[in-house]
A = this chain, B = another copy of it.
Amino acid sequence: MSFGEILKNVVDGTDGALGALVVGLDGIPVDEYSIASELDIQAMTVEYSSLIKEIEKGSQTVHLGSTKEVTVMAEKAMVMLRRLNDEYFMVLIIKPEGNFGKGRFLLRMAVPKLLKEF
């Protein structure tokens, strides 16, 4: 399966999902699948890649080890970031009323499939 297909499966399988992407820690997206035209995926990519680096630094500073997953619940969306390897992470964006648990499950299931494609 290609990156795009794996991302599509996660988004289609999650009630309320708006989009998913694979991004490098440098902020450069590898692939994305979005069903919400109002989402500024480009801006999100840049913003969250710098965020995940900050969080990683923070976790290391307080001796919690490396970060595996981060979720941000904001007013207009829930954003879930999952580390793929040292250089890439996956992002899933869900509406506030969407199925967060299902999204998290599918995101975790997608990790080994995505890693196979690297």
Contact = CB atoms under 8 A, between A and B. Distances in A.
Interface string A45-67: 00110110011001101111111
Interface of A, helix, strand, loop or mixed by DSSP: mixed
Interface residues of A, number: 29
Interface stretch (A2-10, A24-32, A72-80, A109-117): A72-80
Q: How many copies of the shown chain assemble into the complex?
A: 2
Contacts of A85: none
A35 interface: no
B69 A58 contact: no
- Nearest 10 A/B pairs, CB to CB: A65-B75, A64-B74, A69-B73, A59-B74, A47-B58, A65-B76, A44-B62, A64-B76, A71-B71, A68-B73
